[in-house]
Amino acid sequence: MRSVLNRCDSDRVPFEWTINPYRGCEFGCRYCYARYTHEYMELDGADFERKIFVKENPRLVLARDLTANYGRRAAKAVDASPEHIAMGTATDPYQPAETEFGAARACLEELARRNGLSVSITTKSNQIVRDLDLLKEIASRSTLLINITVTTLRPRLARLLEPRAPRPDLRLAALATLVKAGLAAGVGVAPILPGLTDCHEDLDALARAARDAGALWLWGNVLFLMSASLKQFLPFVEQKFPKLARQYRQWYARGGYAPESYREQISERLAGLRRKYGLGVRPQEVNERIWLPAQMSLSLDPADGPGASPRRTPFLVREPGGTITPCAVG
């Protein structure tokens, strides 16, 4: 294993670094975009949930990677903001393998030693509450944002789409526990599946449940299908939802995205729900506001090395008021 902390140079994502303690994911989500990563090892995308690879000695390797490579945007600026580390972008760090191998916790142990990081964690699993001690330590020293993914509140549909992931109600209960512990957490409705999870009533119920669980934000993305995922997902739709198969073939056969007009409709729908339930958009960092927590010593952790600086406080971007025209999709 060469690294745990991997650089991401794409302008299309809001992070510079990723941490994925595992390759492959036992949850077996039918729509998972990351199946293509198994093709790099000359495996079929169908093996993504059957052959799981665990990164060895993740804490030691992450410590090396952070010391050697992690930096700050515009490093010469006095108020340079820390580069963002996203954990769980391709595989869920709290999939069942974590119970046996503990690779995600090992990474958190190293992150908890550092000051001034910017970290987010994305998961479908309620197992994350096991690590409350480390999460609170990280949040006291760095910016920590936690995204709990919920695609639908319908348990039977969720079991079809995400065969081995925890039930939606368990994820929301975990969210409530995180927020009660003082952690910044919200809900990611990702992906939104055309004709399956996109109706206004279902999204409204999900947004309301997120608000009731204490979510600080709600965001969502429409389904994206790379070729490796399309090969797995289209047969599933044809078998379980045959009336939608033609639409999916038309929309995704020539590219990974749904039509732009549809994506705009869903974006407007989510914006309206955020306004209705007082939820923020994705958290962002304010460059102008730099603060040092009262419990954090002015001396820096030796692990940070020279040049380390205090973290920034996150804030939620709230959208201006307005009206939304309901759209009939699916």
How does pLDDT run across 203-212, given as a tens digit for each residue? 999 999 999 9
Strands (E), 129-171: 143-149
Residue 91 included in any domain: yes
* Peptide bond before residue 191 is cis, with ω within 30 degrees of 0: yes
Tell me the C-alpha distance between 176 and 305, whole Å. Answer: 36
Domain at 181, CATH number: 3.20.20.70
Residue 322 included in any domain: no
Query: Tens digit of pLDDT for each residue in 70-110?
Result: 876 655 445 568 899 999 988 999 999 999 999 999 999 99
Provide the sign of the torsion angle of the four alpha carbons 169, 174, 177, 179, taken in this order: negative
Amino acid at residue number 60:
L
Q: Would you state the pLDDT for residue 41? A: 66
Residue 28 included in any domain: yes
CB atoms within 10 A of CB 48: 28
Residue ranges, the chain, pLDDT below 50? 76-77, 285-330
Residue 321 included in any domain: no
CB atoms within 10 A of CB 176: 16
- The DSSP bridge partners found for residue 86 are 18, 120
Residue 327 included in any domain: no
Nearest Cα residue to 31 out of 252, 257, 232:
232
Residue 301 included in any domain: no
Task: Look at the chain and report how many structural domains it folds into.
Answer: 1
DSSP secondary structure letters along 289-316? EE---TTS-SSPPGGG-TT--PPEEEEE
Nearest Cα residue to 162 out of 26, 330, 22, 20:
26
Q: Would you state the pLDDT for residue 114? A: 96
Strands (E), 76-133: 84-87, 118-123
Asked if residues 21 and 65 have their Cβ atoms less than 8 Å apart, the reply is: no
Instruction: Tell the residue number behind the tokens 């078998």, with chain if given.
Output: 239
- The DSSP bridge partners found for residue 23 are 53
Tell me the C-alpha distance between 277 and 227, whole Å. Answer: 37
Residue 295 included in any domain: no
Query: Tens digit of pLDDT for each residue in 15-31?
Result: 788 998 998 889 999 99
- The DSSP bridge partners found for residue 188 are 149, 219
Q: Would you state the pLDDT for residue 301? A: 33
Q: Would you state the pLDDT for residue 81? A: 80
Asked if residues 267 and 204 have their Cβ atoms less than 8 Å apart, the reply is: no
CB atoms within 10 A of CB 29: 25
- Which residues span the domain enclosing 228? 5-289+306-316
Length of the chain in residues, anyone?
330
Residue 133 included in any domain: yes
Question: Per the structure block, which two tokens stand in for 245?
Answer: 């198969």
Q: Would you state the pLDDT for residue 38? A: 61
Instruction: Tell the residue number behind the tokens 């958190």, with chain if given.
Output: 108
- The DSSP bridge partners found for residue 147 are 122, 186
Buried/exposed code over 142-168 (b: 16+ C-beta within 10 A; e: otherwise): bbbbbbbbbbbbbeebbeebbeebbeb
H helix runs in 143-278, sequence order: 155-161, 168-180, 200-212, 227-240, 242-252, 260-277
Inter-helix orientation angle 200-212/260-277, to 10°: 40
Tell me the C-alpha distance between 299 and 296, whole Å. Answer: 8
- The DSSP 8-state label assigned to residue 81 in this structure reads P
